[in-house]
Structure 1
Amino acid sequence: MTALTALTLFSSPGSGWAQSPTSTLEKIGETGVIRIGYSAESMPFSYRTADGTVTGYSTELCLLIADRLKRQLGLPALAVEYVERTPSNRVAMLRDGQFDIECVASTNNTERRKSVAFSYSHFVTGTQYVSLKKNNLRTVDDLAGHTVAATSGTINIGKLNAINRERGLHIAVMPVESHHAAFKMVAEGRAAAFVMDGILLAAMIANSETPELFALSTGTLGPPEPYGLMVRRDDHEFKRSVNGALQELYASGQIEEIYNRWFMAPIAPNNINMRLPVSAELRKVFSDPASMVEQ
């Protein structure tokens, strides 16, 4: 990655500050360090390879943002420290100052914006579910009477509970700590389905040892929603800098090359290819970043 040559990178379990800094840019300028929240399992957005390398589409975007911040702040070098987070603790860790920006695949919605802020969007997806192909489950109504897994701390579990109540489907909703654990429950037949963002499910299917055994639902549990990079709420200066970097990236056309590298070409570690062209919704975001959602 181009940004890698401009930065000093190292990994850490992430011992955060006791309190959120009043100014993220000021803190980065004083310490020469930016802390990036990452996921070990959200391929192709953010994941950790067997040798401990943190990589992914969102990770690459944040490294380019960090390079711009280095120039903006006039720093001779900017070290990047990776801090692992989970869907259930990401908001608390960000607000507590344990990392400065979350570079994964978090949905920007009204409820989350009560606690955190989001950058311009960098992806658009919808909630679907994965099941074993032999069970012939395709639509939301097909889940009636089944046990369905969903990752704690995600908007997907809330959507599933709402649809379950509204339609009286009698689904046994099972909260699970990680995407990997939920997917494993489906593979072992302990859950009929796993509800999550469609793009993440597609990646998990493609990266499994037996992708031919799984099917992605044809229906969604709601309209398409955007992913954004999470930053601390009310830290407007830092958010403007992050958005400025993304806007430059989108306007330059470099985003197309980066997107294609992660979604239209084989990626490590197993050389899977998502074969997912830029959607019409995402192309609109790239051309007009402020158009997708309320900022």
Structure 2
Amino acid sequence: MRLIASLVAIATTALIAGPASAQALTGTLQKAKDTKKIVIGFQEASVPFSYLDGNQKPVGYTLDICSKIVDAIRNEIGEPGLQIEYTPVTSANRIPLLLNGTIDMNCASATNNLERQKQVDFVNTHFLTANRFVSKKSNNLRSIEDLKGKTVVSVAGSVNLNQINRINNERSFGMTVASAKDQLEAFLMLETDRAQAYVMDDVQLAVQAARSKDPAAYVISKEAFGKPEPYGIIIRKNDKPFKDLADKATAALYQSPEIDTIYKQWFQSPVPPNNINFNYPLDPALAAAFKNPSDSADPDHYALKN
């Protein structure tokens, strides 16, 4: 009788525990469990963070990091066959598409700042970059002051566009500020002389110049519009279980030798489809951030201590 009672108690506990475990899933994790997929937003021309390769397949540095998060989701919800669905987004629509549930993560190059944190959350920082401008050497533009009266382009929905508009107004520069739908279009405007300067994160400018028809024709400003800022993977706000999982997965990656391999693959090796090596070394400040992962939006947080 005691044995029967024990078996009944174990069975009862199992029945109670099963539904409780299922009910514990919320937000993005529950959505992934229900749909058996996770939808990743990516940008088609944000080389080498996320873009389409020669076979029109989404690839890139940030997508490789997001794949580690997906592995953690599979393990957490018990769905080893969880599929990844890729949806193209732009700087202008990525947050609206996240908020309305069209995508579950934005995996590209997105600046983490306090303004955006009012709408969304960011996973641990995976890159640091400063806002500068690229121009043709023949235009002889070296400083921000040199942009007075010029046509300057940046990408719609980007922090960079907001920053250049603010400077234009505050300092009465008289610039004509144009917005492009993506980085490819912005550089094309510079290349075809519809703009004299293109403002964007310095790493993106280096990549675009290296991929151009005449890389030697372009120069990136030494002067920056502000301090280096962090990039983060964007997820929905107040989804703590998913954020905790994503932060844990990225922290484990960043504190392992694998992040060096991933970084070198995309920034210090020939990158498809044109096999260009951007020769962009790992910044010491980013290396330090990898050792102590953080989702801080404060640029001062990442400053190296003397």
Would you say same fold, with TM above 0.5? yes
Q: Is the 8 A contact 1:285 1:291 kept in 2?
A: no
The alignment status of 1:54 with 2:69, answered yes or no, reads no
Moved more, 220-229 or 133-142: 133-142
Aligned pair count?
275
1:7 alignment counterpart: none
Return the offset for 1:292: 4.4
The alignment status of 1:173 with 2:177, answered yes or no, reads yes
1:14 alignment counterpart: none
Equivalent of 1:142 in 138, 146, 154: 146
The alignment status of 1:70 with 2:74, answered yes or no, reads yes
Moved more, 216-225 or 64-73: 64-73
Q: Is the 8 A contact 1:201 1:216 kept in 2?
A: yes
Return the offset for 1:291: 7.2
Amino acid at match of 2:269: A
For residue 36 of structure 1, give the secondary structure of its aligned residue in structure 2.
strand
Return the offset for 1:30: 2.0
Return the offset for 1:50: 3.0
For residue 121 of structure 1, give the secondary structure of its aligned residue in structure 2.
coil
The alignment status of 1:221 with 2:225, answered yes or no, reads yes
Amino acid at match of 2:259: I
More helix by share: 2
2:189 alignment counterpart: 185
Q: Is the 8 A contact 1:285 1:292 kept in 2?
A: no
Q: Is the 8 A contact 2:232 2:295 kept in 1?
A: no
Q: 2-side partners of 1:293 and 1:177: how far apart?
A: 25
Q: Deviations over 1:185-235 (max 9, x none)?
A: 111111111111111111111111221221111111111000000000111
Q: Is the 8 A contact 1:126 1:224 kept in 2?
A: yes
2:279 alignment counterpart: 275
Q: Which runs of 5+ in 2 are unaligned?
A: 1-24, 302-306
Q: 2-side partners of 1:227 and 1:74: how far apart?
A: 30
For residue 120 of structure 1, give the secondary structure of its aligned residue in structure 2.
coil
**Which is greater in Rg?**
2
1:8 alignment counterpart: none
2:32 alignment counterpart: 28
TM-score, reference length from structure 1: 0.90
Amino acid at match of 1:55: V
More strand by share: 1
Q: Which runs of 5+ in 1 are unaligned?
A: 1-20
Q: 2-side partners of 1:242 and 1:22: how far apart?
A: 14
TM-score, reference length from structure 2: 0.87
CA RMSD of aligned residues (A): 1.6
Amino acid at match of 1:206: A
Q: 1-side partners of 2:184 and 2:92: how far apart?
A: 14
Q: Deviations over 1:145-183 (max 9, x none)?
A: 101111110010111112112222111111222221111
Amino acid at match of 2:257: G
1:102 alignment counterpart: 106
Amino acid at match of 2:255: A
For residue 289 of structure 1, give the secondary structure of its aligned residue in structure 2.
coil
